[in-house]
Structure 1
Amino acid sequence: MRQSSDFCRAPLYTSCLMGEEIHAGLTALLSRRPIGRVHSIFENGINLAMEDALIFVGTTKNGRVPFGIHMGQESVRRLRFYIKCNDEVVARTPDMLQFCHPQYPVTLDLSQATPFHYEISAYRYSSFLDLFHVDTFMKICLTWGMTTGLGVEWDRFLASDYRPDDRQYATIRQTEQLLDALLSDEVQAIEAPLRYFLGRGPGLTPSGDDFLIGLLAVHRLTGAFNSAFVPILHHILETEAITTDVSKAYLLHALHGQFSDKITRVLNAMVMKDASYFQTRLSLLLQTGHSSGIDTAFGIANAIMALRRYKHVRTSCDCIGGQRHFAASPGSNL
């Protein structure tokens, strides 16, 4: 339902903003959860807590996110000016949000926002040989030169140049233990290294969580990890306050195969032969946030290197939730 144009002009004290893009699933969510509050405010947008669901309203600087409503920087600036944390938000209709500030009520009209939806093309992948740009991926990350938010230096990581007394050794060991568990039938070995990364690091999206997003993106493409990975992580997130609300939202969407367009396009480009396109997409991911893009790339790199360590994985007949599950051992053959 769309309000008349007079709605935005009628009360002089009410500001009306227009949403430009919206994730395709959000209008249904707003129908189910019409009442919420302003959760957090930062430079590129705001987060809304609509009951137990988080919605981002802001620019596309860090990509189009699966719980996102996007608009330009000037509209975001105006929105930030008029609202404050804990202001009530009501979805009067699924395409009309009302910010109920007592002095400066704001309406966000979503009726003309363009829906978006991004999917990782798992159908393109059948074996490690379908990943065309593995070496290019590693070289670009190495050239980028920035240390990950987990304190790992790319040159030493790629050269396996670390000792037990090195600061980054513990993180490297945990990545190896987690990936070895995910590429085996040792379900009980997954949880401990998984917990090492959850919530690790400062910020709205801790570096350890961004790393896990990278692993989940590769899993979405390849289906190569133990099928217990997703339910174990989901159970921890739903039963424990182990990370930030924002990071939890990203992880929960990732568990359902929903990622930002920057991540989705990198994974899809991995199974396309266009090298120039892949390099462009990876560079855009690496530029995301303070270290979020780099940490996500670190997760992707670890997952790819683990697949290479195991050479090829054999497909089993176990299908969990419609996804392929692969059992692997270091000596297995396709």
Structure 2
Amino acid sequence: MIVNDNQISSYLIKNFSDIKSEKFFVHSIFKHTINFTNDKLLFSVSPKLNFSPINISIESNLFDLIYNYSHDYKSINLNFPYIDFNFYETNLNSFSLINTQIEFIKLPTEDYIRDFIFVCLNSINNSESLINIFQNSEPTDAIIRKFKMIHRKFTEILQCNNVSSYRNILDEISGFGKGLTPAGDDFLYGILATWKTFSLRQEFVSYTEKYILENQNKFNLISFNFLKSLIEGEISLTVKNILINISPQKDYKSEITVLLNYGHTSGGDILTGILTAIQNK
């Protein structure tokens, strides 16, 4: 089924004010969400979710039309309500339809992991990101200092394989910080993405997923749906490209840079989770 651009545009024009014309490319397609980008901002269309200014919730039948059109053509002219997205800008490099399914692979060798950690820690560029907990000096930021203590307890639980104490630390991590996606939630995303990709700590994975689904109120809607998509088998393309390319023969350095530049601190917070999961496998 193919839908005329005008059908989509007329719907948005009719329902939203301050319309700006822009050409968008399909960035990624999930079961209930289509993400478009114009290389500066991400614009989501969904039939049932309406959790941020970047998302427009539309009728299911129109979503189905857009869904089919997007699969066929990869680009679309949209009229959309203009909002100042400058604070949330993110540069995205891929405009084609992409495979966002988690790829399950074997854990790299210790040498590869050691090199990967070295590259990550030498790529730090954001003093407000949680990744600074790995620095030898004491963090000056109060939030990072507090999370460093939480992180110490988290790693002790993993090292002791203490699942019984895991619930308490999840209570401290979930919703920790501020922003569109709190730092603790992004950290948890990095942890879970790494565990699932390398099939690590299955008992902790099951508990984490159960905790997220049963405690939606601990997360804001953006974080919850980001984590829920991971539970359902979808993964951030940048995170996926980092995890599946941890070897000297593959270029993951550019992907690390892309991730660290994602959001205000989100990329660094996610990478903190990735490093923690790999170091405490």
Q: Give the TM-score of the pair, scaled to structure 1.
A: 0.60
Change over 3 Å in CA distance of 1:25–1:155 after alignment to 2:
closer
Cα distance change on mapping 1:212 and 1:46 into 2, 3 Å: same
2: CA distance, partners of 1:18 / 1:200? 36
Q: Does 1:247 align with 2:223?
A: yes
Partner deviation per Cα, 1:186-213 (whole Å, 9 max, x = no partner): 2211111112111111111111111111
Deviation track 1:280-326 (CA, whole Å, cap 9, x = no partner) reads 1111111111111111111112222223xxxxxxxxxxxxxxxxxxx
| Corresponding position of 1:298 | 272
Any gaps of 5 or more consecutive residues in structure 2?
Answer: 34-39, 75-95
Cα drift, residue 251 of structure 1 = 1.1
Q: Secondary structure of 1:290's partner?
A: coil
Deviating beyond 6 angstroms after TM superposition, the runs of 4 or more aligned structure 1 residues are 8-11, 13-18, 54-58
Query: Relative to structure 1, is the Cα distance of residues 138 and 194 closer, same or farther in structure 2, using a 3 angstrom cutoff?
Result: farther
**Matched residue, 2:100:** 118
Distance 2:270 2:9 in 1: 44
Give the structure 2 partner of residue 34 of structure 1: none
Q: Using the alignment, how far apart are the partners of 1:2 and 1:148 within structure 2?
A: 46
Counterpart residue identity of residue 2, structure 1: I
What is the aligned partner in structure 1 of residue 248 from structure 2? 273
Structure with higher helix content? 2
Distance across 2 between alignment mates of 1:284 and 1:210? 15
Is this contact kept in 1: 2:260–2:267, CA < 8 A? yes
Please give the per-residue CA displacement for 1:80-135, whole angstroms capped at 9, x wherever unaligned.
Answer: xxxxx8x761132554359xxxxxxxxx953523542234443333xx52661533
Greater C-alpha radius of gyration = 1
* Counterpart-to-counterpart distance in 1, 2:202 and 2:167: 12
Q: Report if the CA contact (8 A) 2:45-2:57 is conserved.
A: no
Report whether the alignment pairs 1:287 with 2:261: yes
Say which is worse superposed, 290-299 or 247-256, in terms of deviation: 247-256
Q: Post-superposition shift, 1:136?
A: 4.1
The answer to whether structure 1 residue 132 and structure 2 residue 112 are counterparts is yes
In structure 2, how many angstroms separate the alpha carbons of the residues matched to 1:168 and 1:235? 24
1:213 matched residue in structure 2:
189
Change (3 A) 1:284 1:224: same
Number of paired residues?
A: 245
- Looking at structure 1, the residues matched to 53 and 145 of structure 2 have their Cα atoms a distance apart, in angstroms, of 38
Q: 1:149 aligns with which of 129, 142, 148?
A: 129
Pairing 1:89–2:58 present: yes
Q: Any idea what the Cα deviations from partners look like across 1:60-95, whole Å, max 9, x if unmatched?
A: xxxxxxxxxxxxxxxxxxxxxxxxx8x761132554
- 2:37 aligns with none
How far, CA to CA, are the matches of 2:173 and 2:181 in structure 1? 12
Gap change, CA 1:223 and 1:131, over 3 Å in 2 = farther
Q: CA deviation at 1:268?
A: 0.9
User: Does the Cα contact within 8 Å between 1:182 and 1:225 map onto a contact in 2?
Assistant: no
Measure, in 2, the Cα distance between the counterparts of 1:194 and 1:168: 17
Helix, strand or coil: the match of 1:227? helix
Q: Residue type of the partner of 1:278?
A: Y
SS in 1 for 2:61: strand
Residue 219 (structure 1) shift: 0.2
Higher strand share: 1
Greater CA drift, 172-181 or 256-265: 172-181
1:285 aligned partner, one-letter code = L
Preserved contact between residue 51 and residue 221 of structure 2 (Cα < 8 Å):
no
Structure 1 residues 150 and 9: alpha-carbon distance in aligned structure 2, compared to 1, 3 A threshold: closer
Letter in 1 for 2:229: H
SS for the counterpart of 2:122 is helix
- Cα distance in 2, alignment partners of residues 244 and 194 from structure 1: 15
Residue of structure 1 equivalent to 2:147 = 171
* Cα contact 2:130–2:272 (8 A) shared by 1: no
CA distance in 2, matches of 1:169, 1:9: 48
RMSD: 3.9
TM alignment of 1:1-334, pairs within 5 A? 1-3=1-3, 20-21=25-26, 23-26=28-31, 29=32, 44-47=41-44, 50-51=47-48, 53=49, 89-97=58-66, 110=70, 111-113=72-74, 115-125=97-107, 129=109, 132-150=112-130, 152-156=132-136, 168=144, 170-270=146-246, 272-274=247-249, 277-307=251-281
